[in-house]
Structure 1
Amino acid sequence: MPHPTPEQDVLGGLPPVRPISAAQVADRIAGGPRLVVLDDDPTGTQTVADVPVLTSWAVDDLRWALRQPGTAFFVLTNTRSLGPADAAERNRQVVRALRAAAEAEGGVRYVLASRGDSTLRGHFPLETDVLAEELGGADGTILVPAYVEAGRLTVGGTHWMRVDGGLLPVGGSEFARDATFGYRSSALPDWVEEKTAGRVRAAEVLTITLDDLRVGGPTHTADLLRTLHDGATAVVDAVRDDDLRVLALALAEAEEAGSRLLYRVGPSFVRARAGQAGRPPLTPDTLPRPAGAAPHGLIAIGSHVSLTTRQLARLRQRGGIAEFELEVGTLLDAERRDTHVADVAAAAAAALEHADAVIHTSRTLVTAVDADASLDIARRVSAALVETVRQVNAARRPAFVVAKGGITSSDIATEGLGIDRAWARGTLLPGIVSLWQPVAGPAANTPYVVFAGNVGTDDALADAVDLLRSAAPC
C-alpha cells in the first residue's frame, strides 16, 4: 500500500465552506419527487434515520413505502452479490415495479439513486445504464461516492480515503484490489473511463469542483448540470455535508428546469439529498427491545477485509462472547456442509443463554481464478452463514443481531431473518453502523445492525456490541 498524503496537503487552501443547512434543502424539495435509493447492499442506510427500507420490490411493498412520510426510502437490491446479468435484471424488476406502484398511488413522482460502495466497488456503469434504459433515457449520471463520516472524500476529482497518517488515493487501497470489482484509478474521470472500458473518455467527464460548489453556489452548479446531455457523466467533489447540500439544491433546480438525472452515490449524498441533518447515535433507551428474546445477542461476521479481522480481535479482548467458526473448506464440500452448519447453529443458539454468540467464517479468504468464480465462492459461503443464522433464530431468538459485511448483512436480513419491511432508525456510532427495526416477520422488533466491513476504528465492533448489551430485552 502506498504511503498516505498528509491531510493538510490535500485539504489545505480549499475555498471556505458555503454553509447550507439541512432545513434549507428540506424546504427546497418539499412537495418534490421522492428519492428512491436502489442500494446494492444494506450499508447505504448508515447516514439516515427514520427512513423506510424494503428488501422486497413487490408492488405492494413499494406502495407501502411510498405512503410513508418523508422524502426518501431504500430498496435493498443486493446486486453487489450478483453477476452482471442478474444484477441488470434485478434493477429492471425494481424500476418496473416502482413504476406500477407510483401509478397505483396516484402518480407519485420520484428520482432514482443507485447507491454503491464509497470505495468504488460495484456494478458501474451497468446499473446506471439499466436504470437509464428503463426510464427512457437520462441527460446525465452524477457520480458522488463521498462518505464524509468514514473519511471518503473527493477533492479535485480524486477520491481519497482517510487512513492512519493522512489520506490515501482510493486506487491504492486494499478495496481497489477487490477480487470482483477491482480497479486502478483514483481520479474519478479516469475511473469512469476504466470502468466503461473507454466508452466514456476521462476528458468527456464533467468535474464539479469545490470551487463550483463553494464559490459558485447552487445556481452556478445547476447551470453546469444542465449542460449534461445524452447520458453524460459528472463527478462531484465533496469534503463536508454542506458541499453535498449545495449539490442537492443545484439538482433540484436543474431537474425543475427539465434535466433528467440519475445518481450513482455513496451514503452521504442520500442524507443531503433527503434534507436530513446528521443525528447523534442511538442510545440504550431508544433501541427497540424484542419481547421473549434470549438474554444475549448474535454477531455474524462474513467480511474478510483486514479491518473486520482487527475488529473481531478487539471484541474478543472485551470478553463476554462465545465464538463459533464456519470453516470455509467444509462449507464448499457438499457432503459435509449441512451437518457443519447445523452443528454450529445448535451450539450458538445454546450459547445465547450465557453469552453473545459470534459466528464467523474462517479468516482465510478463498478465491478462484477469475472474478465470476470468486463471486460464486463468496455467494456459497454467505449462503451457509445465512442458513446458520436462520437456524439460530428459529431455535432461540437473539436479543439483537449484528451482521458484519455488506453482502452478509443483506443476505441475513432477507433470507436469515425474513425481513421484508423495516425502518432504519439511526446509527450506533457517529455516522456509521445502521440499526434497522423490522416491521414484521420472525425478527419483528429485533434490533438488526448493518455493519459494513470497511468502516470504523478497530474498537468499533466492540463499542457497538457494548451499546446493544446495555439495552436488555423485555
Structure 2
Amino acid sequence: MRNVDPAEVAARLRTAPRLAVLDDDPTGTQTVKDIPVLTTWSVDDLRWALRQDSTAFFVLTNTRSLSPRDAATRNREVARALHAASVAENVPYVIASRGDSTLRGHFPLETDVLAEESAAAGAAPDGVVLVPAYIEAGRLTVDSVHWMRTADGLLPVGESEFAKDATFGYTSSTLPDWVEEKTKGRTPADRVLRITLTDLRTGGPDHVAGRLATLRGGTTAVVDAVCDDDLRVLALALAEAEENGSRLLYRVGPSFVRACAGQPAHPPLDPAELRPLRAPDARHGLIVVGSHVSLTTRQLDHLRDVAGDVAEHELDVARLLDPVSRDGHIRDVAYRAATTLAKADTVIRTTRTVVTATDPDESLAISRSVSAALVETVRLITAARRPAFVIAKGGITSSDTATHGLDIRRAWARGTLLPGIVSLWQPVDGPATGVPYIVFAGNVGGDEALTDALALLRRAA
C-alpha cells in the first residue's frame, strides 16, 4: 500500500487544468463535496462553472438515457461550448467522461466523439484512460479484472445483472477484453495498456506517468484501483504526464473524480448541516422512484416495513405507455400525491415489472417515455405543494427530475447522506432554490439505504 495525502494531490492540482466531468447521469457527484454542478451547457453556464473556486465541476449530460446518435450530438454540443467558455475565461481544462461503475453506457462512442472534438480544437488526445472503480460501492479493479461486491462476496461484473442490461449489455469482466468487445475489435485486448496495483503502489507516480507517456494515437489504458490511495497515485501521475506534454481523455467511475479533485473521503452530512438546507416552509419530502433494478425494489420493501408514516402512489407503466390513458393517469397520481404530501413523506414510483423490447433502442425509448411521465408527475406535484426535499431514485430518473421536473440549471453538490453514496445538491437558481435535491443511484447501498437516508432527513427537521 502507498499512502497519499489528499492535500498533496490538491496542492499539485492548483496549477493543473480544471477537471470538467461530463456525467452521463447525476450519480457521479456522490463521492464529492462542494463541487459545482450544471444541468445545462450554454457557454454562459460553463463560464460560471469555470469561475468557481473549485478544482472540478460536473456537467450533467444524461446521455445514458439517449440513443447513440443523440448521445453523440450532446457530447459535441458540450465539448464545443466548453472550448468556447475556456477561451473566454482563459481557464484550461481536461475532460472526464463519467460512466457507470458497472460498465454500462455509451462507450466507446462518447470518448470517440470527445476525442474528435478535442482534435478539432487542436488538442487530439494521445490516450483514453479507463478507470471504472467506485470504492464505496465495492466496484474494484484488480489485475485488470473489474469486480462488484455483493452480499455473497465479490462477483466479476460480467456475471452481474448489470451485464445483462437490455441496452448496454456485455460479457467481459477483464477490462482489456471488455474494451475489445465494446469497440467490436477495433482496439484488440493486447493493445490496451494495463496500469496495475504493482505499478501504482510499487512504482508510484513517476513510474505510472512514464507508462502513460507511451500512449499514442488515442490508445486505451485501463487502471486498477481498490482504494482512494491508488487513485491519488494515479491523479499525481496524470498531472505529471500532462505537464510533460501528454494529452489524455478519461472514462471514469465516481471515485476517480474525488481523487482528481484532491478531496478526502468526507463523512456524510449530519442533521446540523442538513437543517439549514431543508426547505423551511415544508414539513414532508417527496421520494421519486424510477429505477427498476432488484436492489431498488428491496429498498422500497424495507422502507415500507420500517419507515412508518409514508404514503405511496404507483404510476402504472402499461397505462403510461397507452396514449389514451396516459395523461389522466398522471394527473390522478399527481393529485393524490400532492394531497398526501401535506401530512406525510410521499413516494411516487413506477410499476416494479420491467417493460423492455427486443431491440435495445426500443428498450431505451420505453425507459425515456416512462421517465418523461414520471417527471411530468413531479412537476404537477411540486407546483401544487412545495416539498421539504426531493429524493430521486435511479440514474435516468434523477437526471430528468432535476432538469425537467425541478428546472435546476446550476447547483452545488454539498456532500452525501450515506458514506460515499447518495449525493445532496443545493440548487442555486430556479423554482427549486431552497429545496435540497438528493440523487440516489438505483444500484448502490444495502437494502436499508433508502430508509436510512429518509431517517437522516427527518432528523434534520
| Shorter-chain TM-score tier | over 0.9
Give a deviation string over 1:56-76, Cα, whole Å, max 9, x none: 001111111111101000000
The aligned residue for residue 97 of structure 2 is 114
1:381 aligns with 2:364: no
Give a deviation string over 1:108-128, Cα, whole Å, max 9, x none: 100000000000000000000
Give a deviation string over 1:443-465, Cα, whole Å, max 9, x none: 10211000000000000000000
What is the rounded CA distance, in whole Å, between the counterparts of 1:309 and 1:166 in structure 2?
Answer: 21
Which shows bigger deviation, 264-273 or 95-104? 95-104
1:446 aligns with 2:435: yes
Give the drift of 1:30.
0.9
AA aligned to 2:44 is D
What is the rounded CA distance, in whole Å, between the counterparts of 1:291 and 1:463 in structure 2?
Answer: 20
SS at match of 1:402: strand
Kept in 2, the 8 Å contact 1:293–1:396? The answer is no
Give a deviation string over 1:217-275, Cα, whole Å, max 9, x none: 00000000000000000000000100000000000000001000000000000000110
Give the drift of 1:369.
1.4
Give the drift of 1:291.
4.5
AA aligned to 1:125 is P
Structure 1 residue runs of 4 or more that deviate by more than 6 Å after TM superposition: none
User: Where do residues 62-461 of structure 1 align in structure 2 (5 Å cutoff)?
Assistant: 62-105=46-89, 107-136=90-119, 137-287=124-274, 288-291=276-279, 293-318=281-306, 319-461=308-450
What is the rounded CA distance, in whole Å, between the counterparts of 2:396 and 2:38 in structure 1?
Answer: 16
Give a deviation string over 1:175-232, Cα, whole Å, max 9, x none: 0000000000000000000000000000000110000000000000000000000000
Kept in 2, the 8 Å contact 1:331–1:384? The answer is yes
What is the rounded CA distance, in whole Å, between the counterparts of 1:101 and 1:316 in structure 2?
Answer: 47
What is the rounded CA distance, in whole Å, between the counterparts of 1:32 and 1:146 in structure 2?
Answer: 23
Give a deviation string over 1:338-389, Cα, whole Å, max 9, x none: 1100110111011111111100000000001110000000000000001001
The aligned residue for residue 5 of structure 1 is none
How much is the aligned-residue C-alpha RMSD, in angstroms?
0.8
Give the drift of 1:103.
1.3
The aligned residue for residue 8 of structure 1 is none
AA aligned to 2:335 is A
AA aligned to 1:244 is L
Kept in 2, the 8 Å contact 1:382–1:411? The answer is yes
What is the rounded CA distance, in whole Å, between the counterparts of 2:277 and 2:357 in structure 1?
Answer: 42
AA aligned to 1:320 is D
Give a deviation string over 1:278-305, Cα, whole Å, max 9, x none: 1100011112435453310000000000
What is the rounded CA distance, in whole Å, between the counterparts of 2:280 and 2:35 in structure 1?
Answer: 26
Gaps of 5+ in 2: none
TM-score normalised by length of structure 2: 0.98
Kept in 1, the 8 Å contact 2:288–2:348? The answer is yes
What is the rounded CA distance, in whole Å, between the counterparts of 1:172 and 1:39 in structure 2?
Answer: 25
Give a deviation string over 1:39-71, Cα, whole Å, max 9, x none: 000000000000000000011111111111010
Kept in 2, the 8 Å contact 1:289–1:471? The answer is no
Kept in 2, the 8 Å contact 1:294–1:352? The answer is no
What is the rounded CA distance, in whole Å, between the counterparts of 1:120 and 1:256 in structure 2?
Answer: 29
Give the drift of 1:166.
1.4
Alignment length, in residue pairs? 455
AA aligned to 1:64 is W
The aligned residue for residue 11 of structure 1 is none
